[in-house]
Amino acid sequence: MAVHVRIRITVLTLCLALAAVLVAALPAGAEPAVWKVSAPSAHAGHGPGAVLRLDPSNGSPSLEVTHDGQTVIEPSPLGIVTERADLSTGLRLLGRSDREVSESYRTTVGKDRTRHARMIEARFRFGTADGARLDLLVRVSGDGVAYRYVLPADTGDVVGETSAFTLPAGSAAWLGKYRRDNENLFAQYDAAGAPAGEYMMQALFKAGDSYALVAESDLTGTYSGARLVHDAGSVTYRVKLWDEQVQVDGALTTPWRAVITGDLATVTESTFVDDLAPSSKVRDTSWIKPAPALWTWLAGGRPAGQSLEKQKAYVDYAAQRGWPYTVVDAGWYFDPDQWDVTDPDWQTNSWMPELVRYGRERGVGIQVWIHHRDLDTPEERERWLPTLEEWGVKGVKIDFMDSEAQETFRWYDTILAGTAEHHLLVNFHGSTIPKGVHRTWPQVMTMEGVNGEEKKTNTPEHLATLPFTRNVIGGMDYTPGAFQRAERPNAASDAGELGLSVLYESGIQNLAGTPESYDERPEARRFLEQIPAAWDETKLLAGDPGKGAVLARRDAERWFIGGIFAGAARTAEVPLRFGHGKWLVETVTDGPGGLVRKGRMLRGDTKLSVPVVANGGFAAVACHWYQGRTSCDR
């Protein structure tokens, strides 16, 4: 039976390849050659689809992305240009082969820890008249379309791509201006009316009733980071590489260019960027433990970082709350270049081993901030990584890479391997954004790449856009919970600030409040004492980018809910989406005298009505109801 199956697959592949070659051989002036790729088991006209075309007049390829038969990305240019070959034009199809990619894997962090990915991959083999080769890989799943270029032979360094994304006329866009650290506000535009300039590679569009989030996956030091470039009045967003020349030695496989598409819930709940990434390079993940942390920078600033006694006080407070980590930011270490590291006792210059010992006795692990410049050479990495492991430090927050150059991604490759070897959790700041890293390197708990809590420029609209843009693609270290900061855009809503701790997913949820601010808000403190950092399931309950977002995240049998809204006060009507049965739902909302907790019994398929103040939000926890149950506490 297996032999017959293999024969049928082989015959089908040969037929597809022959048909593709015959179609591609149309005479000049004929209609473009067209090939389609559909999601696995997709019903006719439903789900994502890809349509590849080859212009017979010049041999230039383009790709269209559809959802439910409607175009969400118009036919858009494809191609890559190297020192010795222009692989964006003059192409002819040599053959096509298809395969199904079906994978199950677990992650340490993210929207859900157990993943099942199923995709159809089509490989289109192209050649030029002078013998240059380009393979185009197109993958289609139930929540997205992606493509990448494979150059089987060495054709020199890459000098650019012609890749682009063209939107249907009238499409809406939610974009952030590009910065080298990916920290900028998101704002809404008409896709054609957005100002000319460069935008971050995490752009959300809406065409008709469907959404499309443009991202990338599997970016390593073999290539360069990308951004989007938009010309005034155009509906096309071109891909621009950081490096003018990407160094290549031999064959090349580029990162995936991904379009997550579907309704808003499909995009928000998608794990497509991780699904495209390589499997984990860390075999033993038992030491990787996501959890909330008390982050002392916004709570105490640099003086706290320089004081052992203050850090011990933060450890005590974290222990009282049941938070497994504290994060010690800048100021805790001297310049290592001033130390004589040939002295076997050089580590005694730091009080960190004493803090680690103190935390260990109280069940609190210590994570430390360290500047990228102190880890950018092999000698520095050999100095620091084994030492931090020896001290018992649990993780590193590495800051100020501020680059998406190929050289920087080579550094990422090295530091990711090094931190895994020395059992150090990782939080990247001043960094790129997740591009499948959580699957490949599961010790990466979170990354900044966001205009976060410490900024003074945030807007309510920005807060309500992040769940549909930056946070879709991976852990986001926004650092919520800084109730003491008057600069936050939801300053009138402590409940909205509390809701961000659920709304924004991060493997290490760095809580940025002062102990005093939590003690003044016992309901917030009580909620944060229960919140996990890893989730079994995530659902979008309600939302509209830039206007509001409500997400529910499940940990075992409890659902935690976070909501934020921009604009006037209202009563939010939130569909629960928990299915049948009775649930106890405890909400935390803003009241005249502070936060108010209220419990009620609701069916899991009904709506939750929640009062929300202007530019505010709420937090909630839901658990199965039974007679006599009055709380969802464990």
Once rounded to an integer, what is the mean pLDDT over residues 386-402?
Answer: 98
Structure tokens at 483: 């109730």
Residue 349 has pLDDT above 70, yes or no: no
Q: Which residues pair with 138 in a beta bridge?
A: 122, 147
pLDDT in tens, 284-319: 999 999 999 999 899 887 787 888 999 999 999 999
Residue 335 has pLDDT above 60, yes or no: no
pLDDT in tens, 9-54: 333 443 444 444 434 444 445 678 999 999 998 777 789 999 999 9
Q: What is the pLDDT of residue 11?
A: 38
Residue 3 has pLDDT above 70, yes or no: no
CB contact burial 114-153 (16+ within 10 A = b; e otherwise) = ebebebbbbebbbbbeeebbbbbbbbbbbbbbbbbbbbee
Once rounded to an integer, what is the mean pLDDT over residues 436-441?
Answer: 98
Closest CA to 317 of 296, 340, 341: 296
- Name the active-site residue from 98, 454, 537, 555: 454
> What's the chain's average pLDDT?
93
| 74 is known as an active-site residue | no
Share above pLDDT 90 across residues of the chain, in percent, rounded to a whole number: 88
pLDDT in tens, 487-531: 999 999 999 999 999 999 999 999 999 999 999 999 999 999 999
CATH superfamily, domain 289-449, is Aldolase class I (3.20.20.70)
Closest CA to 321 of 521, 619, 553: 521
DSSP 236-249: EEEEEESSSSB---
Residue 207: CB partners within 8 Å, gap ≥ 6?
70, 71, 72, 73, 167, 168, 170, 171
| 454 is known as an active-site residue | yes
- Name the active-site residue from 181, 216, 329, 399: 399
Closest CA to 219 of 229, 227, 208: 227
Q: What is the pLDDT of residue 19?
A: 41
pLDDT in tens, 407-423: 999 999 999 999 999 99
- Domains 2-276 and 289-449 belong to one CATH topology: no
Domain 2-276 sits in CATH 2.60.120.260: no
Q: What is the pLDDT of residue 217?
A: 98
pLDDT in tens, 165-190: 999 999 999 999 999 999 999 999 99
| Residue 468: exposure state from Cβ atoms within 10 A (0-12, 13-18, ≥19) | buried
- Residue 342: pLDDT band with limits 50, 70, 90: low
Q: What is the pLDDT of residue 453?
A: 97
Q: What is the pLDDT of residue 634?
A: 82
Residue 397: CB partners within 8 Å, gap ≥ 6?
327, 329, 367, 368, 369, 370, 427, 428, 429
Long-range contacts, 338-346 (Cβ 8 Å, 24+) = 341/383
Distance CA 114, CA 109 (A): 10
Q: What is the pLDDT of residue 8?
A: 37
Amino acid at 533: A
pLDDT in tens, 63-117: 999 999 999 999 999 999 999 999 999 999 999 999 999 999 999 999 999 999 9
Q: 133 with 152: CB under 8 angstroms?
A: yes
Residue 562 has pLDDT above 90, yes or no: yes
Q: What is the pLDDT of residue 333?
A: 83
Distance CA 89, CA 111 (A): 40
pLDDT in tens, 209-220: 999 999 999 999
pLDDT in tens, 143-170: 999 999 999 999 999 999 999 999 999 9
Share above pLDDT 70 across residues of the chain, in percent, rounded to a whole number: 93
Domain 451-473+485-503+535-634 sits in CATH 2.60.40.1180: yes
Annotated domain spans of the chain:
2-276, 289-449, 451-473+485-503+535-634
340 versus 504: the higher-pLDDT residue is 504
Residue 327: CB partners within 8 Å, gap ≥ 6?
293, 294, 295, 296, 297, 367, 368, 369, 395, 397, 427, 508, 510
- Backbone angles phi and psi of 39, in degrees to 5: -65, 155
